[in-house]
């Protein structure tokens, strides 16, 4: 069980609520002392005890648990259809926490297209203690099953992937994981729980860079894990407390604020993105557009099957090479040239130079991350203004 309290009891009155209601009320009630509608920020490191080992309430030390963080964790668990939520100090710390489940000699079989920071952590840090971190294309699940060996402990996927926006069959991967007794982890950052719920399709753990869509305002760095499994929750809570991979209370409060508008924001991100992707497909200076909502996307049918919306990320190839790509990136005025994604403001970046620079050139090239490859995060500005900015920059 988690360190404090039983989340199943805390969450039982919220589990039948619809997603938009959960985003606003999930795991939360007005403060019983003041009537505050928003959960208080418990900016404290420790809690008084009436006798040794007998705290006044449920809490002893904020590394172990904090009331503000717990409310956020409960809300995240509800949004993902899980039971146990863990809020961490970054997306990378959430990945590190999952990796702490590995024993000596155990490793990860990961999809080949992942965030550059994930690739760097797996290959440059965790690989120092285990050489069993392998990457492959997950579009052919028969080959994925063939690649599993006695060292494989975790199946790790992003879907949609970053930055090529591949769609991976969650239910198919879950069946393979169950067959071989593996832990199946889905990075759900790009879709958010509004458009995709991997736990409902058989995943064991859902991971988020909360920095992105869940927070959505480019002012917090955070991560999260959600699971239904008691055994995994026990290990993850113990390791989180032992390793100190926790989100501070003020950041937790900021994310709670942001979650209340998540359903509305995601619908607008997706609506604008689909229109913008179709417009880019017809632009004479664009070679190819990748967006799961387009009929031209090779896994469009799978995306429609397992997603409720296609989110706000678009990748495309400009006609030309690095010179043309750099001209575009320097010429935009409304799009901000910056790493990250999922905020209310639109961002644009060059994965090969920026977010995926830690991936070796030969692997980037093989995956299709070329010099003329661009990734954009479509924000909540007026669509006409976004089109006008890209048009003047491309032209």
Active site positions, annotated = 63, 115, 187, 212
Give CA–CA dist 162/337, Å, rounded. 17
Within 10 angstroms of residue 96's Cβ, the number of other Cβ atoms is: 19
Q: What is the sign of the dihedral through the CA atoms of 35, 41, 47 and 48?
A: negative
- Spatial contact of 195 and 166, defined as CB atoms under 8 Å apart: no
Q: Do the Cβ atoms of 274 and 265 come closer than 8 Å?
A: no
Residues 214/198, Cβ–Cβ less than 8 Å: no
Element (H, E) at 287: strand 286-290
Helix (H, G, I), strand (E, B) or coil at 29: coil
Specify the long-range contacts of residues 144-151, CB closer than 8 Å, at least 24 apart: 144/109, 144/173, 144/176, 145/176, 145/179, 145/180, 147/109, 148/109, 148/176, 148/180, 148/182, 151/105, 151/106, 151/107
- DSSP helix, strand, coil percent of the chain (3-state; round to 5): 40, 15, 45
Helix (H) or strand (E) holding 253: helix 249-259
Integer Cα distance of 291 and 313 in angstroms: 7
Q: How many residues can be counted in the chain?
A: 395
């Amino acid at each position: 069980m988690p360190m404090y309290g039983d989340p199943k009891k805390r969450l039982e009155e919220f589990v039948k609520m619809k997603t938009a209601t959960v985003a606003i009320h999930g795991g939360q009630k007005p403060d019983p002392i003041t009537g505050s509608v928003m959960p208080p920020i418990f900016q404290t490191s420790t809690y008084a005890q009436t006798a040794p080992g007998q705290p006044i309430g449920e809490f002893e030390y904020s590394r172990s648990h904090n009331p503000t963080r717990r409310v956020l964790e409960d809300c995240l668990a509800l949004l993902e259809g899980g039971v146990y939520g863990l809020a961490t100090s970054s997306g990378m710390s959430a990945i590190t926490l999952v990796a702490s489940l590995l024993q000596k000699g155990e490793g990860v079989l990961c999809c080949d297209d992942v965030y550059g920071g994930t690739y760097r952590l797996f290959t440059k840090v965790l690989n120092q203690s285990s050489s069993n971190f392998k990457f492959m294309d997950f579009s052919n699940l028969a080959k994925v099953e063939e690649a599993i060996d006695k060292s494989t402990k975790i199946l790790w996927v992003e879907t949609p992937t970053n930055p090529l926006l591949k769609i991976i069959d969650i239910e198919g991967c879950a069946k393979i994981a169950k067959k071989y007794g593996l832990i199946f982890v889905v990075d759900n950052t790009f879709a958010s729980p509004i458009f995709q719920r991997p736990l409902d399709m058989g995943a064991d753990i859902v991971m988020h860079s909360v920095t992105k869509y869940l927070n959505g305002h480019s002012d917090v760095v955070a991560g999260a894990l959600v699971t239904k499994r008691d055994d995994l929750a026990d290990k993850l809570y113990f390791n989180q407390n032992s390793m100190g991979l926790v989100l501070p209370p003020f950041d937790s409060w900021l994310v709670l604020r942001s979650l209340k508008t998540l359903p509305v924001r995601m619908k607008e991100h997706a609506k604008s993105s689909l229109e913008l992707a179709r417009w880019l497909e017809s632009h004479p200076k664009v070679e190819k557009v990748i967006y799961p909502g387009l009929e031209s996307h090779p896994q469009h049918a799978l995306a429609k099957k397992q997603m409720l919306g296609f989110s706000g990320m678009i990748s495309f190839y400009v006609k030309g090479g690095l010179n043309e790509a750099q001209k575009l990136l320097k010429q935009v005025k409304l799009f901000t040239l910056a790493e990250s994604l999922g905020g209310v403001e639109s961002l644009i970046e060059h994965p090969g130079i920026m977010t995926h620079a830690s991936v070796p050139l030969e692997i980037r090239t093989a995956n299709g991350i070329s010099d003329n490859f661009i990734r954009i995060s479509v924000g909540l500005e007026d669509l006409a203004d976004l089109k006008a900015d890209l048009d003047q920059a491309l032209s």
